[in-house]
Chain A
């Protein structure tokens, strides 16, 4: 990742990261520490070589770092950040889950919350069948079991 054009305070120190498909990234410390994992590494003193991230592919890592960059920018307003987040997370499911798992693995709380909320929003307002279709989930209840489970709280199911 090339250094940013935004005027950011930098110690000049950069971290080198390597995705699972061997793409390398260079990122300012101030940006990387959005991830608790990197934060601890920086605090404990980090090795010279690139940090391997066997759980994240290059494409996803690029996106994540882009997000961290935006969120590390001190000049950006809260409104602009919210708008950015809304656009950032409006992605296909596959990308969304990759982002979610990366945020979890790298321990980036805000990004994880953003991604989880997005998935939660996809569940709201849908019927059980619609939910299954959206997420490609198999209904493993037998008809009797399903009837039993629906009866439990029928008042909450209908309009």
Chain B
């Protein structure tokens, strides 16, 4: 009688590659062959396809005790939340004002700059040489220019304790060179952004070799060419009725997502942005009942706690308010038809603490990093290219 064991390892690999990551982690404990297939760097797991279905991470910081910090990760393929272990907070005591996540890494930016890969078997912390300007809540982008070591671009968030920061310093931009372990000063952010240049009023997106900076309320946009090291001229990107919006880098398009007011009421819309002309065209509107299910009250400023992150084919919209335990929904943009499919994200697994700061971001996850991820330094971290 034909048994599973009659299948070649190629066929076994093919079958396993159809499974979502959480199932693969379980499968890797079944026997040695399965473990070796699954933890191979060349294993074609569904989630390793570039950026199609990034995970959504939610890190909650509690101001009185780090024991009350919690972190969660959502896998859109299996539609499940995972409660991450305490070791997912690799830094000894991340102060809420300098902790952020992007492209597979967690960062603290003050008092020193350090990063650690997420969901990596060894949550090593890599501390870089100091930034030229101390920053709190900067915009941060991760890119790989002809190298398998990540480079970081930081924009804004400049803070000096006790001192006033002058305008030039506020607009300062630096890029990290991993080979020299040094921060290079780059042309500063255009002066239009002089007021409010931390991540609370700016949104950023890496797309097509450029780092876009977008004012959530101001609607100013400019892009930094990572190779030529120049900022584009500043334009205003405000579709009619937009109150505030976020810029998101999706797989093959730049997207603007935000709250729009019209005579019919408020809605959450998505627009596709042409990266050359900054022209916008509406691609979707979140169903009204879904939007209202994210909020409790009827207050005017209820949307103020609304945040949006996205990557690949997914855009996550969630409410940063503790009240409803951080509800979220996700929109999947189909690459062929451009059709958008909205659905609620399941509730976070209880208990969920009341955080005084929520850090949220999208990232692809690497099964290889989770299971094997090299004992050495960042060389072994499987590059998650943009």
A137 x B371 contact (CB < 8 A): no
Contacts of B28 in A (CB 8 A): 149
A residues adjacent to B (C-beta < 8 A):
93-94, 97-98, 100-101, 104, 112, 116-117, 119-120, 123-128, 131-132, 135-141, 146, 149-150, 152-157
A153 x B18 contact (CB < 8 A): no
- Total residues of chain B contacting the partner, CB 8 A: 34
Given the complex of chains A and B, what is the CA–CA distance between A150 and B35 in angstroms? 11
Contacts of A93 in B (CB 8 A): 2-4
Q: Cβ of B23 < 8 Å from any Cβ of A?
A: yes
B31 is contacted by which of A123, A125, A137, A150 (Cβ under 8 Å)?
A137
Contacts of A146 in B (CB 8 A): 29
Give B4 Cβ to nearest chain A Cβ, in Å.
4
Contact with A along B7-50 (1 / 0, CB 8 A): 10001001110111111011111111011000000000000000
Give A158 Cβ to nearest chain B Cβ, in Å.
9
B11 x A104 contact (CB < 8 A): yes
Q: Cβ of B1 < 8 Å from any Cβ of A?
A: yes
Contacts of A125 in B (CB 8 A): 23
Contacts of A157 in B (CB 8 A): 25-26, 29
B18 x A120 contact (CB < 8 A): yes
A128 x B26 contact (CB < 8 A): yes
A100 x B7 contact (CB < 8 A): yes
Contacts of A104 in B (CB 8 A): 11
Q: Cβ of B85 < 8 Å from any Cβ of A?
A: yes
The CB with the most chain B CB atoms within 10 A, among A101, A137, A153, is that of A153
A124 is contacted by which of B6, B19, B31, B82 (Cβ under 8 Å)?
B19
B25 x A132 contact (CB < 8 A): no
Q: Cβ of B121 < 8 Å from any Cβ of A?
A: yes
A131 is contacted by which of B3, B5, B27, B371 (Cβ under 8 Å)?
B27
Contacts of A152 in B (CB 8 A): 25, 121, 370-371
Given the complex of chains A and B, what is the CA–CA distance between A123 and B25 in angstroms? 12
Give A60 Cβ to nearest chain B Cβ, in Å.
9
Contacts of B85 in A (CB 8 A): 154-155
Beyond the given pairs A124-B20, A135-B4, 16 more chain A to chain B contacts, judged by CB atoms under 8 angstroms and listed by A's residue number, are A94-B2, A97-B2, A116-B18, A120-B19, A123-B27, A124-B23, A127-B26, A132-B30, A136-B3, A136-B5, A138-B31, A139-B31, A149-B29, A152-B370, A152-B371, A156-B82
Given the complex of chains A and B, what is the CA–CA distance between A36 and B222 in angstroms? 51
Given the complex of chains A and B, what is the CA–CA distance between A140 and B31 in angstroms? 6
Given the complex of chains A and B, what is the CA–CA distance between A93 and B5 in angstroms? 11
Give A36 Cβ to nearest chain B Cβ, in Å.
16
Given the complex of chains A and B, what is the CA–CA distance between A122 and B23 in angstroms? 11
Give B104 Cβ to nearest chain A Cβ, in Å.
16
Q: Would you list 17 pairs from A and B whose C-beta atoms are within 8 A, ordered by A residue?
A: A97-B4, A97-B6, A117-B18, A120-B16, A123-B16, A135-B3, A136-B3, A137-B34, A139-B31, A141-B29, A149-B28, A152-B370, A153-B371, A155-B82, A155-B84, A156-B25, A156-B82
Q: Cβ of B83 < 8 Å from any Cβ of A?
A: yes
B32 x A141 contact (CB < 8 A): yes
Given A136-B3, A155-B85, is A128 in contact with B30 using a C-beta cutoff of 8 Å? yes
Contacts of A138 in B (CB 8 A): 31
A153 x B2 contact (CB < 8 A): no
Q: Which residue of B lies closest to A148 (CB)?
A: B29
Q: Which residue of A lies closest to B1 (CB)?
A: A94
A132 x B31 contact (CB < 8 A): yes
Give B253 Cβ to nearest chain A Cβ, in Å.
29
Contacts of A150 in B (CB 8 A): 29
B5 x A137 contact (CB < 8 A): yes
Give A14 Cβ to nearest chain B Cβ, in Å.
29
Give B333 Cβ to nearest chain A Cβ, in Å.
23
Give B35 Cβ to nearest chain A Cβ, in Å.
6
Give B179 Cβ to nearest chain A Cβ, in Å.
31
Give B34 Cβ to nearest chain A Cβ, in Å.
8
Q: Which residue of B lies closest to A103 (CB)?
A: B11
B31 x A101 contact (CB < 8 A): no
Instruction: List 3 A-B pairs, minimum CB-CB distance, nearest first.
Output: A135-B4, A156-B25, A120-B18
Q: Which residue of B lies closest to A153 (CB)?
A: B25
Given the complex of chains A and B, what is the CA–CA distance between A156 and B25 in angstroms? 7
Give A118 Cβ to nearest chain B Cβ, in Å.
9
Q: Which residue of B lies closest to A136 (CB)?
A: B3
Contacts of B4 in A (CB 8 A): 93, 97, 119, 135-137
A98 x B31 contact (CB < 8 A): no
Contacts of A140 in B (CB 8 A): 31-32
A131 x B30 contact (CB < 8 A): yes
Given A94-B3, A120-B18, is A101 in contact with B11 using a C-beta cutoff of 8 Å? yes
Give B327 Cβ to nearest chain A Cβ, in Å.
21
